[in-house]
Amino acid sequence: MTTMDTTIEAENTAAVVEKPSNKNQGEMIGFLFALVAAVLWGLSIYTFGVPGLYIPALAAVPVVYIMLIIISRG
């Protein structure tokens, strides 16, 4: 290999290397939202006992129902 071949190969290799993409950013935001919701629900159970367990779930029913309607409509 000559020096010219090595230089061209290095340039081609540098072109292939890409920066990390932000395509997983939406998934990470969703995961963090779910994690925060679970922690808050746990704190609610710790603070209020059994009502802290079922009242947030009961309050989430209309929200989940509306989300299912939105998802099904496309």
Global pTM reads: 0.57
Q: How many Å apart are CA 30 and CA 34, to the nearest integer?
A: 6
Q: Domain for residue 7, yes or no?
A: no
The pLDDT of residue 31 is above 80: yes
Q: Domain for residue 68, yes or no?
A: yes
Higher pLDDT, 37 or 23: 37
Q: How many Å apart are CA 13 and CA 40, to the nearest integer?
A: 47
Considering the chain, what is the average pLDDT of its residues? 83
Q: Domain for residue 1, yes or no?
A: no
User: What is the pLDDT confidence band of residue 52, given thresholds at 50, 70 and 90?
Assistant: very high
| pLDDT score for 25 | 86
- Provide the residue range defining the domain that includes 52: 21-73
If one counts the domains in the chain, the total is 1
User: What is the pLDDT confidence band of residue 74, given thresholds at 50, 70 and 90?
Assistant: confident
The encoded tokens of residue 60 equal 């989430």
Q: Domain for residue 3, yes or no?
A: no
